[in-house]
Amino acid sequence: MRSVYYAISASRLNTLEPALSIQNRFEGTLRRQKASLQEVTSLSLFRDDVERLLRDLYGDREGDAMDKVLDAVLVIALEFAQFVRKDLYDEHHCAMDWDYNLGIGVPDGYGISGSDHRRGHEALNELRVRVREVRKNPSAFNKYTVEFATHHFEEWIIMEPYGESSDNVLEFQSGRRT
């Protein structure tokens, strides 16, 4: 993605000396805690790989420059996905709607309306359908989507059989599974 390259080139990261990365070696593990479902969607997992690459190149440094580049990468990926891979775009926005239903992203002093609650549960149902599709045929999806559906989704949303039916029903929780 040439746009990602241009975002990095235009950032303050481009002013850092890559040779200093030897002093601040990156061990490959991101330290950032995932605090919401939207942080483990396919597009967010792509952003994490870009972060690993940038930390390899520029060293394991904290700072505003890295955060801004990674935010730009996610926005660029979302904008492209909106027109090229609507399924990835919808997955991310469904996760955002569910997170909002849980109070993540709600501005201070505001609450959740009935329509927000309904939209969150509709988004959760769409994600459930997507996860089932991915699990049925993982080879039809990219590695980030497979990782989201097989590893990360159940960290946030528990899928368990309900009653004697073979259908799975989602039970939700407000935080990460422990």
- The DSSP bridge partners found for residue 155 are none
The pLDDT confidence band at residue 166, using thresholds 50, 70 and 90, is very low
| Contact indicator for 24, 60 with CB cutoff of 8 Å | yes
Residue 158 sits at φ, ψ, to 5 deg, of: -85, 125
d(Cα 6, Cα 11) in Å, to the nearest integer? 9
- Tell me, what's the pLDDT at 152? 86
Q: 3-state DSSP: the chain helix, strand, coil percent, rounded to 5?
A: 65, 5, 30
What is the per-residue pLDDT across 99-130, written as a single tens digit (0 to 9) for each?
999 999 999 999 999 999 999 999 999 999 99
- Written as six digits, the tokens of 88 are 């990835």
41 vs 89: CA distance, rounded Å: 10
CA neighbor of 145 nearest in space, from 41, 52, 51 = 41
Residue with tokens 């396919």: 42
pTM > 0.85: yes or no? no
Residue ranges covered by each domain of the chain: 2-25+34-84
Q: Which residue has the higher pLDDT, 164 or 67?
A: 67
What is d(CA 90, CA 145) in angstroms, rounded to the nearest whole number?
12
Pick from 99, 125, 5, 6: nearest CA to 44: 99
Tell me how far apart the alpha carbons of residues 55 and 83 are, in angstroms, rounded to a whole number: 29
- The two tokens of residue 11 are 């950032």
